Structure 1
């Protein structure tokens, strides 16, 4: 069996202009910089990207801007999961037509307590509507969505749509859950949402990580991936863990954006859309420490 490639995909932040429109120029520049810093690819329009504060048209336009700027579509796994099936279908078909590696798809997330059968039907509706070429990465983030992606559901989707279910991002924070997915479904790529879990993920047969804090520390996380079996493994793991711990103590998305703004010396990157608010002075020290530990990034 060919060894699985271990990868870092970054859920790139979405910069906003003063009128809160998407700042496409900064979005493209940041995305290119992440790849130049060692990220294998991007997973825009997930939680960290404030995707659920973006319209379908905004997501499509921003994705097109990345491809038009020369970022290979095969390095992109955009988020496409919405509450309305027609929106998920439109976004997924658009990404597939552009040639994206796949789509990262939340289940419909407003109604809680729904059955696995209902969630299966929701995914099936999108898969069958989009048709050939679609590759789906399931997005398990039950603490936000309220709709878990269970092992029986994954099994049923893989059986019904072989070759379409390409992977899963586990943002539950539970290593036990991630490990159970990897063990049960070695044929798909399973990503952890924290870089601190990369050693365990890789040892178990996983595919790497899709991490919010990789917006700030892509070079450090890439160094950890490349050095997993090397003599500096311990120090590399401590570096990424130290950055991650600091972000766990601040409002995550505003904190990530504030850190990127500090790294780039460009306060425009710190702007968020409501209901988020920018970080205040009480979090300044932690954000400054995260930027210091992450160090200089080889940004384009």
Structure 2
């Protein structure tokens, strides 16, 4: 069995490994598609929190069940599946409250434990989703899009509210798409004109704002001076996060979706005057992922446009760095096996 190990920052190595031996309650999955996300890029560059080397990356995964014991969930060999990559303890307060996405002992495939950049993976049956009704590519986008769906659910959008989404990467695009489906008037903010155009085409946003051209004034004009009911910052950029509150209306909600290795600050008198609600949004739950799968199946989300490159597993080491460069115009990169 082949696998790709990130031995240290900027170093991938292809190795031969053993096919996993199954433990009780696990299924053996042949990995068929691997989505590449910002977490993978950050890990490769040495900038990912909660990370140690060496590590097999990959947590946006779909595949085919090869071996599975008899189970109540009805999984059989040959089923196509998406993998829920968040392994929770099931015992902490967060888990007992249904918030498995922020389990105190959470382990994420490809970050805390070895992930899916390998031909086979042992996965708890409880962390599989049957996806026979959608394609392998569609199934491999579920986790990425689920981050955005969870953030939108955290924001509790009311129909007609203005939602500013800062950052037009794959996660930000997911936030935009599901905010639109929730009934918001979505304002996309980014500095990349190509990405902003894609926001219109793919996420059907209502307005685009170039952040380099006095975004605050543009948002004020769009909202008739009220500013936005919700502001989602998906940049992972501390300067953006420090200033994102300025786009929020009095009584508004500010949701930090991006993760940054830094402290953020903003003036308390201004925050207090507006009575803002500050939320973080981490990962996703099965509920979010099942919702995403349903929207894909019903045609509300087009992953064909979202996936902008497909690279065979044997070629990804040579092409990985190119996918990180702006000139590649990558939205979502996919590895095929």
Do Structure 1 and Structure 2 share a fold, with TM-score over 0.5?
A: no
Larger radius of gyration: 2
The answer to which structure has the higher helix fraction is 1
The answer to which structure has the higher strand fraction is 2
TM-score of the pair, normalised by structure 1: 0.31
